[in-house]
Chain A
Amino acid sequence: MKKKVLSLLLTLALLLGLSGAALAQESVILTFWTPTWRQAAEEPIIADFMAQNPDIKIEATFYTSEDMKSKTKIAASSGTLPDMWYNWGGVLADFYAENGLILDLAQYAKDNNWSEKYLAGAMEQCTYDGQLIGLPQNLAGLVMYYRVDLFDQFGIAVPTTMEELEAAADVLLKNGITPFSSYNKHMMRYHEALLEYYSTKEEHDDLLLLKADWGKSEAMTKSFKKLKEWYDKGYFPADILASDTSTAKMYVYSGASAMIMENPGMASEIVANNYDLAQYGWFAFPSSPEGKGRVSAYAKMVQFNKNISDEKLAAAMKFWDYYYSDESLEAHPAIEQPTARIGAELPENYVLAQGLLELIDENGSYFTMDLKVPAEVMAKYFSVFDQVLLGTIAPENAGAEIQIDVENYKLNN
């Protein structure tokens, strides 16, 4: 009798085991590559999602930003891209579309009414050559964060035009405060805003898309001239050409500088570091002669492997719906903001970025230069940029110098 019971139990256990294994085999496994700076936020989201959806398994691999860029390219060349991966957008994302490696989400978006779900600006930034090359995650714009206390101390009103901005900078400079903080690569932000100021929207867009001649652009010359003038006057910190983003921000936090052109990450950083919120505010860079103009913006996205199955895609979309659901946003405050979803409210730690998305919506946006212009051309741009500031290249010749590399790039691609 005992033997019979034992064999029955063993058979039952075997059957349960087999059915469990069968169930496990049926679960969808999604591979996902994402940067390490998102790990703290994404690990708990993934764990919570998998707990709620035991039939979906997400295998996330976290890489540093540089590794993320190089490893996805290596994987692309060896045909081992994951099911989905994070991308900063612009040319970094276009590369995978140009080479036919991503799933075009245009039809999926149409079928699932993404236009009612995602901000139009974000969708536009994720579009390349008519394809929707990724699921929009974040929409970020660059604005001027400033020290309210310093402005108050020297009786400066928030500038709304270029003339007012320069007048404010002069007052600050006279009082021993460096008006603008930045570092060499981010000086581009001031330059592209000046380029937007001096050019028409069409010309600026054509320059970014390499359709217009950088050497023949008057706006290019004027913007370089203005930047050189600002640099020579001492509007920027002395170590600008060899500084870094944290040092540049530190100058603002310490009050050595009064303004910095930054993305919304600055708003959350101020909160995270327990700085006095009352001391900080933001305003739009006067990028048009009328005052407010288009904003430099970029959208971060998730791209999907062109070989992803329908079943995996459905599981992936379920995950992203959960990722940005009210439940998840409340449970995981570390999720990067502002999200690209329509109607999404900014959390408390982004209180300083309130109104930013509305600004982009109202005034439109242009692509942040280093995300749209090919890296090869940007490398030359940064070198020429340094040389203009150092006085070894005249602002009048800067555009022509860059155009040489634009032509080379076009010739080779």
Chain B
Amino acid sequence: MAPGLLIYSSMVVVPAIYSVVLSFFKWNGIGKITAVGFRNYVNLFTRDTVFQIALKNNLVWIVLTLVFTTSMALGLALMLNRSFKGRTAYRAIFYFPYMLSWVVIGIIWKWIYNPNIGFLDEMLKLIGLGHLNITWLSDPNIALYCVFMAALWQSTGQPMLYFMAGLQAIPHELYEAAEVDGAGTWSSFVHITIPQLRETFVIVFATLVISAMKVYDVVYVMTEGGPANSTQTLASYMYSQTFAFSNLGIGSAIATVMMVVMMVVIIPYVLFTTKQD
């Protein structure tokens, strides 16, 4: 136990605490380090408009992820849990995007969204809607949602696998008994499948919230946070503050905010589901 604890402490706990401590200082990583109290946090929340956009975008991303990624993953898992010809091939097809790196995903979708020769605009032209001239990623009002679509395509495979594993662990007798009692498909889904998948939901929600807070690569490849910071996220802004602007204190403050947001979302949910157990 002791060596494991020591390694965990030195690799995770101490750096995390150090990062929180650093958030109360002004430091460029080399020169003089100055204590500034809560000034980094106050500035972020009151003056830094880019941080505020990034925080809002991350919260939107969490909601989109929890609603759409979870629904898509569960829907696909339910579909692929049935017995039909070619089921294994379909499982592989739906899981495949997850094996691609974010950079590849970003490049593929960037081409799909290209307003001159992209798939989407060509499709619009085919159905007579070419006059819409949607610039997708260049439009700050829809750019974030366009990037999310790419992320959705990539990230559905993993939770789908979790749900499939969870579905296969549900005893079939429960469905048989429900059928005898006259329960329909929807009733079985609500009263058997969902409650039985509670633990799977905890894992899926936790991993999705964490990845939603850390989203960076796909945004960087597709929009670099633009246009006009409309797709900026906390992770990308933290990177900029720390490494591009050499503001280690502000970068650490953003990292701390990210950690707190994750805990605020995940801890109550885990506690709630544990209580229900």
Contacts and interface: CB of A to CB of B under 8 A. Distances in A.
A101 interface: yes
A237 B137 CA distance: 13
A185 B225 CA distance: 11
Contacts of A392: 228
Contacts, number: 87
Contacts of B138: 238-242
A15 interface: no
User: Which of B222, B224, B239 gathers most chain A CB within 10 Å?
Assistant: B224
B228 A77 contact: no
A364 B8 CA distance: 57
Given A101-B30, A375-B240, A379-B240, A239 B229 contact: no
Interface string B107-148: 000100111100000000000000001011110100100000
Contacts of B228: 383, 386-387, 390, 392
A73 interface: yes
B229 A70 contact: no
Nearest to A79: B30
A99 interface: yes
B135 A239 contact: yes
Contacts of A70: 239, 242-243
Contacts of B30: 76-77, 99, 101
A213 interface: no
Given A242-B136, A387-B228, A375 B245 contact: yes
A375 B244 contact: yes
Nearest to A238: B115
B227 A73 contact: no
B151 to A, nearest CB: 16
Interface string A102-130: 00000000000000000000000000000
Interface residues on B, range: 20 to 34
Contact of B29 (A76, A251, A374, A376): A76
B137 to A, nearest CB: 3
Nearest to B106: A244
Given A383-B50, A390-B140, A99 B227 contact: no
Contacts of A247: 110, 114
A397 interface: no
Nearest to A384: B228
B28 interface: yes
Contacts of A217: none
A412 interface: yes
A69 B243 CA distance: 7
Contacts of A99: 28, 30-31
A374 B135 CA distance: 31
A75 to B, nearest CB: 10
A379 B244 contact: yes
B166 interface: no
Interface string B33-72: 0000000000000000010000000000000000000000
Contacts of A324: none
A28 interface: no
Interface string A55-85: 0000000000000011001101100000000
A179 to B, nearest CB: 15
A276 B156 CA distance: 45
B246 interface: yes
Contacts of A69: 243-244
B252 interface: no
Contacts of B245: 374-376, 379
A240 B31 CA distance: 39
Interface string A358-391: 0000000000000000111001001100110010
A379 B224 CA distance: 11
A241 B50 contact: no
A382 B42 CA distance: 24
User: Which of A76, A77, A256 gathers most chain B CB within 10 Å?
Assistant: A77
B116 A238 contact: yes
User: Which of B226, B247, B248 gathers most chain A CB within 10 Å?
Assistant: B226
Given A70-B243, A239-B135, A242-B136, A382 B226 contact: yes
A77 B33 CA distance: 12
Given A76-B30, A241-B138, A242-B143, A184 B116 contact: no
A342 B79 CA distance: 69
Contacts of B244: 69, 375-376, 379
Nearest to A99: B30
A397 to B, nearest CB: 14
A239 B246 contact: no
Contacts of A251: 116
A374 B143 CA distance: 27
A412 B223 CA distance: 29
A88 interface: no
A95 interface: yes
B246 A244 contact: no
A15 B273 CA distance: 73
B132 to A, nearest CB: 12
Interface in A139-191: 184-185
A379 B244 CA distance: 10
**A-B residue pairs, 10 tightest by C-beta:** A242-B137, A77-B29, A241-B138, A386-B228, A241-B227, A70-B243, A375-B244, A386-B227, A376-B245, A99-B30
Given A69-B244, A74-B29, 16 more contacts: A73-B246, A99-B31, A185-B224, A238-B135, A239-B116, A241-B135, A241-B138, A241-B226, A242-B110, A242-B143, A247-B110, A251-B116, A375-B240, A383-B226, A386-B226, A412-B247
Interface of B: 26, 28-31, 50, 110, 113-116, 133, 135-138, 140, 143, 222-224, 226-229, 239-240, 242-248
25 contacts: A70-B242, A73-B29, A95-B246, A99-B28, A99-B30, A99-B31, A101-B30, A238-B115, A238-B135, A239-B113, A239-B115, A239-B116, A239-B135, A240-B138, A241-B135, A242-B136, A242-B138, A242-B222, A242-B223, A256-B116, A376-B247, A379-B50, A383-B229, A386-B228, A412-B247
